[in-house]
Structure 1
Amino acid sequence: MTADGLKRALRDVRFLGGLWLNTLPATLFGILVVLAPLALDSAGWSTLGIAAVFFAAGLIEVAINPFLGRATDRLGRLLPIRFALAGSIAVAIVLAASSEPLLIAILIGAAGISFGSLYTPGMALTSHRAEAAGLAQGLGFGIMNTAWAVGALIGPSLGGALAESQGDPAPYLLGACLCALTLVATYRVAAKGGSPHAA
């Protein structure tokens, strides 16, 4: 049953999409935590000041998650996903163009909202599609954690390598492109069947 459920889940584009919505924000955060502290450090910010910015961003993300969960329950998963992707595109583009440290600090908080807002509907989508495929929830959760770990591994290494070879804006622009492609994909998947407000 578990093997059959796994096969069905891995053929389900929405299940795979849910996994991607865990990988993508982990990648974006991985890029952010490499580049933003370096930018703030080069502007003379202390280690404590930089840590405080990221701590505040984390608190903001934690605070909005319950509201996002309720919005997902009420509106379906697609609309919150699309809003989060659109916000992530905007934040990543502005980060690519920013050199003012105070603006970068504000954008770290904005990233906590926009990037972080992908997790809740992404997890809900993965869990729902795992159940629909007959995949054990424990296994589905393990696969979802692996998807997150892939992004957390790729983001810092890719971000650092791209920044070194192409300049600091390049990783942020790549992140914006990934979000834009994902946003387009949400419309293509919805057009193939299902409600425009649910995934």
Structure 2
Amino acid sequence: MLTIHGVTRSRASRIIWLCHEIGLEFRQIPVIQAYRLADPDAPHAALNTHSPAFLSLSPAGAIPVIEDDGLVLSESLAATLYLARKHGGEIGPADLAEDALMMQWSFYAATSIEPDALTILFLHARSRLQSGEDQALVAHAAERLVRPLSVVEGHLSTRRHLMGDRFTVADINMAEVLRYAQGYCELMGQFPATMAWLEACQSRPAFRQMWEARLAEPE
């Protein structure tokens, strides 16, 4: 059985969403990020990314990690693409061209969107007063995202999915990255087709199942 190391409040959410989409059973070991613990190296600390047992599996000390039939993968996008190819049926690639397009959109999300989207996620919070420095960092991140999001918007303005005529792992990977910036309306409001697509992705039962599990975990 597939094993996923990592709490759902991490990039493991991408893998878990995919598993629910394709009906793939998995075992989850809730490794938590060390930065979320007061003393991750304490003798009785929860299993975390500093724990020797986890570092023996992932020397980089980052979640998620999957184990599948002896294969260990420590990058979430590598894991989703691998599982889609192995188990995905319609959610995976039908041929080499589709495989290339799924990688294209996944890597575009990771390299051109995710870094600045994460800045927005961590620094933009309507429930607290932001420092002037945080506001400037968020504004600059949003400015840099206009160009890559315009590419996504142009693509989705004439189609329902990123690739082909069906929901695929490319949609999962992109949607999970864009979720980080979703709450910043000043940015996302400029891209109505992208927002409509994202909301459709997040209305899927498999996403809701993952999200409910994520909300049930401690913050």
Where relative contact order (Cα < 8 A, 6+ residues apart) is larger, the structure is 1
Q: Which has the higher helix share?
A: 1
Q: Which category describes the TM-score, using the shorter chain as reference length?
A: 0.3 to 0.5
- Structure having the larger proportion of residues in strand: 2
Query: TM-score with structure 1 length normalisation?
Result: 0.34
